[in-house]
Structure 1
Amino acid sequence: MDILDKYQLKEWWVESLTVSQRNQVSNNYRPMGLPVSDTPCLYQNVDKTYFNDGFGKLSLLLTLSHVAESPAKEILKAKAESELTKSNTSANINLIDTHLALASLIQHHYSLRADNKHYEKAKELCLMQISFANKVAKKFRHPEKPTELKRLHKITGIRHPYYDEPQMLPSHTGYKQLAIILEKEGDIKSAIKLSEKALKQGWTDDYDKRLVRLNKKLAKIQ
């Protein structure tokens, strides 16, 4: 099974991108040192451990968009947003994949914030990512151990520091970016409230320092 079949993207890939676009993206995509490629012999035996820790369809599409040239770049990002909408209503949502995809899309739309449509979209996606932040935090703190390791550790009694101990949370783009937006819009109180919530959940973005600065700024205004 190749990676496009794995995520049911093969038909879309062929229909939506030209041969030259597919070749360009394939030649520049290097997971584990291999290209996506239209060649069926590649990825016949996908190493499933490579897809642990939440990597999924959305992350794949956005990774491909990063190496794609226009207009394929825009086509891939649009497909990712379309799939994001579908996954957000699914009972089997891949939380980490969705979290990572939203982080990328927030950065994309905010970089185009001169256009109000993109500015408002960035805020919308921030709120979407924040809406399940507490749930995804649990996934990051306690990553799912691969089946192979579970078997091995059961036999040997070995513990793995990454899987068997709580992990530090990474940065959270939605919280961070929306706090910046609210501050720039002059809504300091909401920026403080949002930063307090992120700090309480444990996201890593120097919220202690941000809150000190925001509270000083609010005191001056009042």
Structure 2
Amino acid sequence: MGIFDLFKKKPKVNGIIKYLNLENWWLNELNDKEREIILITYAPMGTEKSIIEGEIYSSSQTHLHFFWGLIGWFNKPELRNIAYKLIAKAESLIDQNSAPLDVHFLYGAKLEVCYKDRDLRPNGLELAIQACEQQIENAPMAIEAFKEQYGDDLPAHKGYYQLAIVLEKQKRYSEAISLCKKAKLQGWAGDWDKRIERCNKRAKA
């Protein structure tokens, strides 16, 4: 390090990054190229640098909500290296106070990224299955939160759905049937009966 490097100032960070106290992550855990790509790629309002500009004094956005919304913008082959860094940071922020729906949607975003890489990375399928299992483990808490906010009818569940597909493709029919029964019992929307019937037939073939 040259003497003049000691006097270099870090770029000023505002916006949602500052509001969520993520300046250290932004400046020290990402490199210049990664920051540039994020600013260019993530522009939901059509404004570059929107996440580091402007003063935010109040927001309902949480750390996890910010990250699961961000991750989806990087689910392209040439950008997934950044998606994995975002996922890792987000997972490190999960604690007992995390909102169940934020955790639910974060694992859903992780699943989408990892499943796209299931045949492209040595551990791609393993990571996708892990994301399914993480979202399934969080399901009881997510159910309560969904019902409290949106009523009794639950939506589809990516983790249950994708893991059922994987198990069926691997001819692990009894496990697939058990999983579908669990998803149906919890009330998640889906064609569980059809999948159970199909797996039963294939198991007997």
Check whether TM > 0.5: yes
Deviation at 1:4, TM superposition (A): 1.1
2:56 corresponds to which residue? 44
Q: Can you list the C-alpha shifts for 1:139-172, whole angstroms capped at 9, x where unaligned?
A: 01112xxxxxxxxxxxxxxxxxx5xxx2421221
Q: Determine if the alignment matches structure 1 residue 80 to structure 2 residue 87.
A: yes
2:186 corresponds to which residue? 201
TM-score calculated relative to the size of structure 1: 0.72
Q: Determine if the alignment matches structure 1 residue 98 to structure 2 residue 103.
A: yes
Q: Can you list the C-alpha shifts for 1:49-79, whole angstroms capped at 9, x where unaligned?
A: xx3xxxx323423433433588765234323
**Helix, strand or coil at the partner of 1:11:** helix
Q: Determine if the alignment matches structure 1 residue 11 to structure 2 residue 24.
A: yes
Percent sequence identity is: 29
- The residue type paired with residue 124 of structure 1 is Q
Runs ≥4 residues deviating over 6 A: 69-72
- The residue type paired with residue 179 of structure 2 is L
Any unmatched runs of 5+ in structure 2? 1-13
Any unmatched runs of 5+ in structure 1? 144-161
Match of 1:22 among 35, 52, 60: 35
Q: What is the count of residue pairs matched by the alignment?
A: 190
Assess if the C-alpha contact under 8 Å between 2:71 and 2:86 holds in 1: no
- The residue type paired with residue 64 of structure 1 is L
2:162 corresponds to which residue? 177
Q: Determine if the alignment matches structure 1 residue 168 to structure 2 residue 181.
A: no
Match of 2:63 among 57, 62, 67: 57
For the aligned residue pairs, the C-alpha RMSD in angstroms reads 2.8
More moved, 14-23 vs 93-102: 14-23
TM-score calculated relative to the size of structure 2: 0.77
